[in-house]
Amino acid sequence: MEFRTYSSPHLSGTNHVGRLMRGVMLAALPGLILAWWFFGWGVLVNLVLAVSTCIGAEAAMLRMRRRPVRVTLGDGSAALTGLLLALALPPFAPWWIPVLGALFAIVIAKQLYGGLGYNPFNPAMVGYVVLLISFPREMTLWAPPQELADARLSLVQTLAWSLLGTLPAGTGIDAISMATPLDTIKTQLGLGLTLTEIQAGPRFGSLGGYGWEWVNLGFLLGGGWLLYRGTIQWQIPAGFLGGLFVMALLFYAADSDTYASPLFHLFSGAAMLGAFFIATDPVSASTTPRGRLVYGIGIGILVYIIRAWGGYPDGVAFAVLLMNMAVPTIDYYTQPRVYGQGGE
């Protein structure tokens, strides 16, 4: 009898790119739902716009590059980029903000570099940073947590604002939007207030910003599940959060009137989203185990530096992109010791 032949190993596991990406998207659900709960329908409008633009752009680019469209879209990476971008955007952004960001992420940052696996920078963060630099006003249209808002928009009203730029009669954009807690700290410290005074305001909760702390907890939960499932390894999140925590602790201990507490930093802004979902993007991160720890710590420290002294209230996107640039060097210097080559 004759047989077909293949190369070894003949056995393979159940690990699969599509499965990985879908797992990450699923893990983002608790954070996403909490964000919707606290910040309203804008979160979901952004999500739909960003994800569908990413998928459309990926399909168009693949067709142009003559790559298999359906199989490649099946890896879920474009949808995940859209999801991560949307989670980083302010809920009251006009429609073209998520669309432009998504286009930039997929077309420039991903496909022009060769598609999945070849992009040196995290596509979602490239999209986000381009928006932040080009449209600083639109990018600060954050919603306050619902209880704190003077007015709250329904789904239809949110759509009308996003697509047409119209608000219900009698409401101004100032009534529905509000600066983020990190932003608030930054501007009010500039006005000479102490942190204790600033944090007495209603927009601050017991851990971080009110509402924000819950969203961060949601991402922490999802991140824990990803770790448990083995979808991500511990080094990057641990490095990120550890770096941020230690930096915050040092300065908080030195001057707690000017520098927010470590816990506040961990549960504000995009800390948990960044640590578990954004910095762990495998393609643009370091791949050696020790390198990942270095990479994570680097991001954590940079996030703190940008938050404390930089020109922007939150720094996850910049920190991730900066460390993306350092990846080849990190990988080179953190190669594991090979079996039988002595040392350690």
Q: Where along the sequence are the contacts to other proteins (CB under 8 A)? A: 1-13, 15-17, 19-20, 71-72, 75, 77, 115-118, 233, 282-283, 285, 287-289, 292, 331, 335-342
* Nearer Cβ to other proteins (171/233): 233
Residue number with CB closer to other proteins (114 or 172): 114
Tokens in use for 332? 């080179």
The 10 Å CB-count burial string (b at 16+, else e) for 219-235 is bbbbbebbbeeebbeeb
Query: What are the beta bridge partners of residue 204?
Result: 209
- For residue 129, the minimal CB distance to other proteins (Å) is 21
Among 174, 151, 153, smallest CA distance to 164 is for 153
Q: By C-beta, is 17 or 69 nearer to other proteins? A: 17
The least CB distance from residue 58 to other proteins, in Å, is 14
Contacts of 9 (CB under 8 A, 6+ apart): none
Angle at 97 between CA 96 and CA 100, to 5 degrees: 75
CB of 125 to other proteins, least distance (A): 16
Number of neighbours of residue 189 by Cβ within 10 angstroms: 18
Query: CA–CA separation, 121 vs 5, rounded Å?
Result: 39
- 57: alpha, beta or left? (left if phi > 0; alpha if psi -120 to 50): alpha
Smaller CB distance to other proteins: residue 19 or 63?
19
- Cα separation, 313 vs 332, in Å, equals 33
Q: How far is the CB of 16 from other proteins (least distance, A)?
A: 5
> What CA–CA distance (Å, rounded) separates 138 from 235?
35
Least distance from other proteins to the Cβ atom of residue 218, Å: 24
82, 28 contact by CB (below 8 A): no
Q: How far is the CB of 5 from other proteins (least distance, A)?
A: 4
Query: Which CB atom, from 188 or from 288, has the smaller least distance to other proteins?
Result: 288
Least Cβ distance, residue 68 to other proteins (angstroms): 9
CB closer to other proteins out of 20 and 93: 20
Report DSSP state, residue 21.
H
Minimum gap (Å) between residue 75 Cβ and other proteins:
6
Name the residue nearer to other proteins (CB basis): 14 or 206.
14
Residue 282 amino acid letter = P
| Residue whose token pair is 């938050």 | 307
Give residue 157's identity as a one-letter amino acid code.
Answer: Q
Euclidean distance between the first and final Cα of the chain, in Å? Answer: 52
